[in-house]
Amino acid sequence: MKLLVVGGGGREHAIIKKLKENPQVETVYALPGNGGIAADAVCVPEIGAKETAKIVDFAKAHEINFAVVAPDDPLALGCVDRLHEAGIPCFGPDAKAARIEASKVFAKNLMKKYGIPTARYEVFRDPGAALEYLRGASFPIVVKADGLALGKGVLIPQNLEEAEAAVKSIMEDKTFGDSGNEIVIEEFLTGPEVSVLAFTDGTAIAPMVSSMDHKRAGDGDTGPNTGGMGTVAPNPCYTPEIAQICMEKIFLPTLAAMRAEGCPFKGCLYFGLMITPDGPKVIEYNCRFGDPETQVVLPLLKTDLLTVMQAVENGTLDRLNVEWHSGAAACVILASAGYPGSYEKGKVIAIPEDLPENVAVYHAGDKLAEGRLVTNGGRVLGVTATGETLEAALKDAYAATERVEFEGKYLRHDIGKRALSAMEG
Ligand code: AMP
Ligand code: GLY
């Protein structure tokens, strides 16, 4: 079979490596892919992930049997709709269903209408009305741009002054472009955060192993927000009791709500949850695999990934038993010094060839230059290890990070620490 994966980061690399475990897979094309992915797939750097028409033409010309659209932008732009129109089976929601991530206003209104637990909120189109509301609000409070904003559209002002600055930045200065035409202002919730990715064909759902992201740049959860500096799976805060509550009050009602709204969700639905003192609540939905959650979740998948994705596409997920390995996985991101601010590119990357079998290096931001792998992004590599316990996985992941070199290599040294203390506590 010939497969196509849209995207070019660590998540896509993890998806591609997993898909290739199926012996029926002959070739995987990555559009655009990256330098490291080129070792596992045929990369097409000329075609960007948002170039829908070119992606469809490529898929037709190369007689692709199955496509996976991984990033949020192409999903929101209707890449899956166009591939389906061209008769190409694929994994991912259509544009209407992708609104669950692409519009926070859509997601919040959906949750309110169908009684799905989430933070209380108000929607504003007019900055004046937003400021008026904030004058009577208590702090901290959460201000979110409606649309996609590279994971940066959420601000948590601690006082009125910061809140006014947040509204000005999003709605007037348009820091996130048209994504800030509307904002959601919501109640600040507290509690541990859990990411649950789930395969769903719109009706049946197979939640994946839970995970925990580490979004802040610095050790001890300090510094600016990033795309994610590391992940562990499973997340110890996600107990079987919490999982059952989530299934009954959040997962199944969300799928039913999407069906009732005429936009059944097919693909990977990502539930960003907070386990509050009042029970689990939805912080956000993503219409796709998380990055770097995928880099710890997929290595624990026992069932063949392509088979699961085809069941999602065919609406037969209820007939498949999706199985997981026991044990744990940890991913430590190696970033370029300066990320998420400005950083240098083009640093030569050295990865030893004799890393242990339970270690995988997923390439996120690199490219090939004159045959050599060089850095080309903020998050460069994700080093994942699996193990019988989280301690073992973390030990092996960190040991491997020491053997991978590039100038300016930056990493957090406390990935998994919170999870380990939650297990003790
Ligand atoms: P998001 O981009 O929606 O995942 O938000 C980024 C981060 O902001 C989340 O991972 C949370 O840590 C935080 N956050 C978002 N919404 C809330 C909320 N209502 N209360 C507290 N923290 C929040
Ligand atoms: N790691 C968070 C996300 O993928 O949105």
Q: How far is the CA of 312 from the centre of ligand 1 (A)?
A: 29
Average pLDDT over residues 76-85: 98
User: Of the given ranges (28-32, 39-43, 123-127, 408-412), which has the lowest mean pLDDT?
Assistant: 123-127
pLDDT score of 263 more than 80: yes
d(CA 192, CA 242): 12
- Ligand 1: residue of 144, 146, 154, 212 to mutate (most ligand atoms within 8 A of CB) is 154
Q: Which of 19, 21, 25 is nearest to 68 (CA)?
A: 19
d(CA 334, CA 332): 7
pLDDT score of 387 more than 90: yes
225 lines ligand 2 (CB under 6 A): no
pLDDT, position 140: 97
pLDDT, position 149: 82
228 lines ligand 2 (CB under 6 A): yes
Q: Give residue-wise pLDDT tens across range 276-292.
A: 999 999 999 999 999 99
Q: How far is the CA of 234 from the centre of ligand 1 (A)?
A: 20
Closest ligand relative to 227 C-alpha: 2
Q: What is the dihedral of CA 47, 50, 53, 56, to 10 degrees?
A: 70
CB of 377 closer than 8 Å to CB of 365:
yes
pLDDT, position 150: 75
In ligand 1, the atom with minimum distance to the C-alpha of 284 is: 3
Place of tokens 């932008």: 73
Q: What confidence tier does 152 reach under pLDDT thresholds 50, 70, 90?
A: confident
Q: How far is the CA of 248 from the centre of ligand 2 (A)?
A: 24
CB of 361 closer than 8 Å to CB of 396:
no
Q: What percent of the chain has pLDDT over 70?
A: 100
Residue 77's contacts (CB-CB under 8 Å, 6 or more residues apart) are 50, 52, 95
Q: Which of 301, 284, 286, 215 is nearest to 15 (CA)?
A: 301
Average pLDDT over residues 86-115: 97
Q: How far is the CA of 148 from the centre of ligand 1 (A)?
A: 14
Per the document, the length of the chain is 425
pLDDT score of 36 more than 80: yes
In ligand 2, the atom with minimum distance to the C-alpha of 227 is: 1
User: Of the given ranges (125-129, 195-199, 421-425), which has the lowest mean pLDDT?
Assistant: 421-425
290 lines ligand 2 (CB under 6 A): yes
pLDDT score of 303 more than 90: yes
In ligand 2, the atom with minimum distance to the C-alpha of 151 is: 5
In ligand 1, the atom with minimum distance to the C-alpha of 283 is: 16
In ligand 2, the atom with minimum distance to the C-alpha of 293 is: 1
pLDDT, position 425: 73
pLDDT, position 241: 97
